[in-house]
Structure 1
Amino acid sequence: MSSDTNEAFGVSFYSGSKAALLACIREAVKQPYSFVVTPNVDHLAQLQYNHELREAYAKARWRLCDSRVLLPLLHRLGVHIEEVIPGSDLTMDLLEWANDEGLGLVLIGATTSECEKLRALYPRIQLHHHNPPMGFINRPEEVQRCLQFIREHPSELVFYAVGAPRQEILAAAVSSRDRTGMGFCIGASISFATGSIKRAPRWMQMNKLEWLHRMFSEPRRLARRYLHDALFIVPAYLRERSARHHKPDPAKQDS
């Protein structure tokens, strides 16, 4: 676990810059396997009831603030995080680096057509692809197929693109004894990278409105989720703030 973290909502967040993170990743991919998660409001809500996700988060090497909506709340709580590191942006940086260096990449999830586009866009990446069936996380034999594929294809990078909490649970199931490299839970980032799903315009991203663009792009899937997230984060923030205000001052206790 990185020492450069700050805790809120039960999560120890990475608090450094993306540039510093990328420098660390360049070294970490040579070491025994570890993985990265990208908490957003939806993940914080799931962490309240999903013990497997909590266990995966506890095992992660870094937990990166993925949300421009979440960041100002963290700042108001006194949590110093240098910048938001959206998973989609980090994925693009890693793909460009992997292509420049001719690195290996295991991709779990994404469609065959997306992989074809990925190979065309990044021809120097040594790409190994396995797309498990829907509901695989509840089928032990399919989980084992994923783990075997990851073990049998050494690579610097492993991308898990099967959605939360499946990708985090799978990432945590890979043993550091089995391989080197780093895993990244990236959600729909491959769809963004290949143009299958269009990202919000830059001005919407910078004004914390990317969620609105995504909701209108996929209303059936996302409208209910975003409503649930909104109903969760407001009372959760108030509880967190209250707990911090009532936390005993260590200096006063020692006096």
Structure 2
Amino acid sequence: MLEPPAQLQPSLTVDGITINVPSLPQAVSSIVSAAQHGDNFSVCTLNLDHVVQLQHHANFRAAYRRARFVTADGFPIVVLSRLMGTRIERTTGADLVEPVCAEARKKGLPVFLLGTNNLTLNVTARRLSERFTGLQIAGCFAPGPGFDPYSSEADAAIEHIRASGARLCFVALGAPRQELFAARCLDELDGTGVLCIGAALDFIAGTQSRAPSIARRTGMEWAWRMLREPRRLGPRYIKCMTIVPRLVARTIPQIVQARMRKAA
């Protein structure tokens, strides 16, 4: 029997959050299409650390529920989708930046870079401009340490984005700040898509190293990162691992229903 088209396959819902974009190409096409239409929207990439935070922070959960597009960042989430028989590919914020910029250049969509620090933003802007000749970098903004998404500094950041005329904004603040800020942008900007991308700008600038491709393909990026920063990331990943059994248990009804529909 032929597999159904991706858009007809059942969506995976993780702790109330639905993964509605199953692959990188579909994420890029959906984001660029929405930007061309002048829509306000946000993009989130769900991983286990986010699932942990969703349990404890109502504002974070509300921000996630307002996201137009949600991809599967964490490899365990991809595994759950496979158990359902749904084809979901791991798509991180770092995966999105360059292909979205490539399409933004073709479609004449200006982009804005927000997060990290001025040095990283300047290097990233230069490298993206070199790789995608003609890409319009509408502006950059580097918040200070301890950035509060509800502060006057956040007000200033939103004003910078608005004045720049950007149609796409890459926000690299880390969770939950970037998602909370993106949710604010939905209410206060007009015609701008906000992509929550974690450390992606640091990877492009070279101020942080991304895991080797083999670690990413095999779902071992977390182990590579933990070995590099055990004190900071060890406790985080331990919390992530403790929620896996509960996620599997909660997903079993979805898996059974999806398998029964395929068998029918």
Are positions 1:223 and 2:252 aligned together?
no
The CA distance in 2 between the partners of 1:142 and 1:43, in whole Å, is: 24
The CA distance in 2 between the partners of 1:157 and 1:140, in whole Å, is: 22
Distance 1:110 1:54, change over 3 A: same
Shift of 1:8: 2.8
| Number of equivalences | 246
Structure 1 residues 200-211: aligned runs within 5 Å: 200-211=211-222
Shift of 1:3: 9.1
SS in 1 for 2:56: coil
Shift of 1:47: 0.6
Structure 1 residues 115-154: aligned runs within 5 Å: 115-123=121-129, 124-137=135-148, 140-154=151-165
Q: Are the counterparts in 2 of residues 6 and 79 from structure 1 also a CA contact under 8 Å?
A: no
Are positions 1:66 and 2:73 aligned together?
yes
Structure 1 residues 183-194: aligned runs within 5 Å: 183-194=194-205
Moved more, 141-150 or 209-218: 141-150
Are positions 1:38 and 2:49 aligned together?
no
The CA distance in 2 between the partners of 1:194 and 1:230, in whole Å, is: 31
Moved more, 205-214 or 174-183: 174-183
Aligned twin of 1:47: 54
Scaled by the length of structure 2, the TM-score of the pair is 0.83
Are positions 1:174 and 2:185 aligned together?
yes
Aligned twin of 2:102: 96
The CA distance in 2 between the partners of 1:91 and 1:54, in whole Å, is: 24
Structure 1 residue ranges without an equivalent (≥5):
none
Distance 1:191 1:198, change over 3 A: same
Shift of 1:216: 1.9
Distance 1:239 1:103, change over 3 A: closer
The CA deviation string for residues 36-69 of structure 1, in whole angstroms up to 9 with x for no partner, is 1000001111111110011111111011001223
Q: Which of 9, 14, 25 is the aligned partner of 1:19?
A: 25
Scaled by the length of structure 1, the TM-score of the pair is 0.85
The CA distance in 1 between the partners of 2:59 and 2:48, in whole Å, is: 17
The CA distance in 2 between the partners of 1:110 and 1:3, in whole Å, is: 39
**Higher normalized helix content (fraction of residues):** 2
Paired-residue identity, %: 27
2:136 corresponds to which letter in structure 1? I
2:163 corresponds to which letter in structure 1? E
The CA deviation string for residues 70-128 of structure 1, in whole angstroms up to 9 with x for no partner, is 2102332x262432212211112123334555542222212212122123212243241
Are positions 1:109 and 2:119 aligned together?
no
The CA distance in 1 between the partners of 2:254 and 2:22, in whole Å, is: 23
Distance 1:212 1:104, change over 3 A: same
Q: Are the counterparts in 2 of residues 35 and 172 from structure 1 also a CA contact under 8 Å?
A: yes
The CA distance in 1 between the partners of 2:196 and 2:43, in whole Å, is: 6
What value does the CA root-mean-square deviation take over the aligned residues? 2.7
